[in-house]
C-alpha cells in the first residue's frame, strides 16, 4: 500500500502533519490551517528545548553557587521555574541571582507555551487536522469507487443516484464554499482542487477507482479531466458531460467512453413528449435502432387489438399491464388495453408506425417529425 494507506492512529505526529500539509488534493483554502499547525509544532518544540536548557542552566548554577548535588540542583531549578517555592531561599548571592533569572525566564517561557497551546485548541486547528486525517484514511480505504469531478447540479444528481445504488464516491471540486456541504451531506469524501490535476486524481484514488465522471460546467475542463484520467489509467471507465455538440467529438478523442449532453437530451425529451405523448421512454441502441416504452392511450386505435396486429416490423419484448403486472416476451395474441405500456425494439420507422397506433384519439400523427 502507498504512504497514503500507512497513517497510524492517534496521536498526530509531526511527520503526519507534514504529510497532510503536502497532500495535493486537500487543497488551497485549507493550506493556511495546515501551515499554522506545522508552525505550532515547531514553536512547541522550541519552547520545550528552551525549558530544558533553562533547567540545565539552573541546575549548574545551583551546583556551583550553593554546592548542592546535581540531582538536588535539578529539583531546585525545577521548583524555581515552576514557582512552587517548596525549597528554602538560596543562601549565597550567586544562588539568589540564579533564582531571579530562573523565575523571570521560566515564568515567561511557561506562560508563552500555555498561550501557544491554548490558541491551537481555541482556534480549531486540532479539529481541522483530525478532519483532514479522517478524509485521508477514508479515501485510502476505498476501492471500486467513482470519482465525481465537479459537484454542481449534474454532479449532485449523479451522486444521489450512485449513492442509492450503493456506490462509494469521492467528490473533487475547486469551489468548496458551494459544494463541500453537499458532499458531506451524502457522506462522500471531499477533495478541494482542480480535477484535471494529476496529483488530485491520484489522491482521490483513481488507481483503485471503477470510474470517473467529468461533469464540470466547462467543456474545456472536462476535456482536460478526461485526458488526465485516461493517461493515468488507460482501462478506467470515463463518462463526460458536454454542453455543446462540438465538444462531443473532442471528448471522444480525449478518451471518454460515454458522453452525455444534458441540454441536448433534455430538449429532445421535451420535444418528444410534445410530439409523442404516448412514448414514455426511449433508449437509443444505434442511430437507426432503438427501444421505446409506448403507452396505450385512451381511445387510440391500438386499444383492443392484439400485439400481433399492431407490432408490424418491431419486436415486442415486454408488456406492462395497467395494473402493474409485467409480462416479458408476451404472446402475439395478447390483447392490449388502455393504460398498458408496450416495450418495443426496432428501427425508427417501425417504431413510429407503432407510436401512431397508440397516439391519443383525435391527435394527428407526428409522422417522422422527431426531436
Domains of the chain (ranges, CATH numbers): 1-141 (1.10.287.70), 142-260 (3.40.50.720), 264-358 (3.30.70.1450)
In contact, 202 and 139? CB cutoff 8 Å: no
Q: Which one has a higher pLDDT value, 241 or 288?
A: 241
Which pLDDT value is given to residue 168?
Answer: 93
Q: What are phi and psi of 220, to 5 degrees?
A: -60, -40
| pLDDT tens readout for residues 167-202 | 999 999 988 878 888 888 888 898 888 999 998 899
| pLDDT tens readout for residues 107-121 | 888 888 888 777 766
Q: Which one has a higher pLDDT value, 36 or 187?
A: 187
Q: How far is CA 233 from CA 79, 206, 207, 256, in A?
A: 63, 8, 7, 12
| pLDDT tens readout for residues 332-341 | 999 999 999 9
Average pLDDT of the residues of the chain: 82
Range with lowest mean pLDDT among 252-256, 282-286, 296-300, 366-370: 366-370
Indicate the pairing of strand 341-347 with strand 326-328: unpaired
% of residues, the chain, pLDDT over 90: 41
234 vs 228: CA distance, rounded Å: 10
* pTM value > 0.85: no
The residues, any chain, with a CB within 8 Å of residue 347's CB and separated by 6 or more, are 288, 289, 313, 314
Per the DSSP assignment, residues forming a β-bridge with 320 are 326, 341
Q: Which one has a higher pLDDT value, 329 or 365?
A: 329
Q: Is the pLDDT of residue 365 over 60?
A: no
**C-alpha 27, offset from chain centre:** 13
161 vs 283: CA distance, rounded Å: 19
Amino acid at each position: 500500500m502507498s504512504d497514503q494507506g500507512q497513517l497510524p492512529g492517534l496521536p498526530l505526529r509531526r511527520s503526519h502533519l507534514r504529510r497532510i500539509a503536502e497532500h495535493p488534493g486537500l487543497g488551497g483554502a485549507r493550506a493556511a490551517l495546515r501551515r499554522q499547525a506545522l508552525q505550532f509544532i515547531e514553536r512547541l518544540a522550541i519552547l520545550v528545548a528552551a525549558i530544558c536548557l533553562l533547567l540545565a542552566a539552573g541546575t549548574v548554577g545551583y551546583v556551583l553557587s550553593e554546592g548542592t548535588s546535581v540531582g538536588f540542583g535539578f529539583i531546585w531549578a525545577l521548583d524555581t521555574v515552576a514557582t512552587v517555592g517548596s525549597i528554602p531561599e538560596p543562601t549565597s548571592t550567586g544562588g539568589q541571582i540564579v533564582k531571579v533569572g530562573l523565575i523571570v525566564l521560566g515564568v515567561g517561557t511557561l506562560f508563552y507555551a500555555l498561550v501557544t497551546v491554548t490558541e491551537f485548541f481555541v482556534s480549531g486547528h486540532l479539529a481541522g487536522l483530525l478532519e483532514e486525517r479522517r478524509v485521508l484514511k477514508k479515501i485510502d480505504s476505498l476501492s471500486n469507487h467513482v470519482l465525481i469531478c465537479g459537484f454542481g447540479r449534474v454532479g449532485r444528481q449523479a451522486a444521489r443516484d450512485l449513492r442509492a445504488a450503493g456506490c462509494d464516491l469521492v467528490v473533487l471540486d475547486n469551489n468548496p464554499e458551494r459544494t463541500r456541504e453537499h458532499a458531506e451531506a451524502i457522506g462522500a469524501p471531499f477533495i478541494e482542487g482542480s480535477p484535471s490535476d494529476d496529483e488530485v486524481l491520484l489522491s482521490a484514488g483513481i488507481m483503485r477507482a471503477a470510474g470517473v465522471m467529468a461533469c464540470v460546467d466547462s467543456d474545456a475542463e472536462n476535456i482536460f479531466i478526461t485526458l488526465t484520467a485516461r493517461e493515468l489509467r488507460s482501462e478506467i471507465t470515463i463518462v463526460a458531460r458536454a454542453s455543446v455538440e462540438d465538444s462531443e467529438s473532442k471528448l471522444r478523442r480525449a478518451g471518454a467512453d460515454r458522453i452525455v449532453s444534458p441540454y441536448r437530451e433534455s430538449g429532445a425529451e421535451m420535444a418528444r413528449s410534445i410530439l409523442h405523448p404516448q412514448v414514455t421512454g426511449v433508449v437509443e441502441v444505434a442511430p437507426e435502432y432503438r427501444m421505446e416504452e409506448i403507452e396505450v392511450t385512451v381511445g387510440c386505435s391500438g386499444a383492443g387489438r392484439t400485439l400481433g396486429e399492431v407490432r408490424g416490423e418491431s419486436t415486442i419484448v415486454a408488456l406492462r399491464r395497467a395494473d402493474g403486472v409485467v409480462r416479458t416476451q408476451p404472446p402475439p395474441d395478447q390483447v392490449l388495453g388502455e393504460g398498458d405500456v408496450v416495450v418495443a425494439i426496432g428501427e425508427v420507422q417501425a417504431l413510429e408506425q407503432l407510436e401512431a397506433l397508440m397516439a391519443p384519439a383525435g391527435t394527428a400523427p407526428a409522422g417522422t417529425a422527431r426531436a
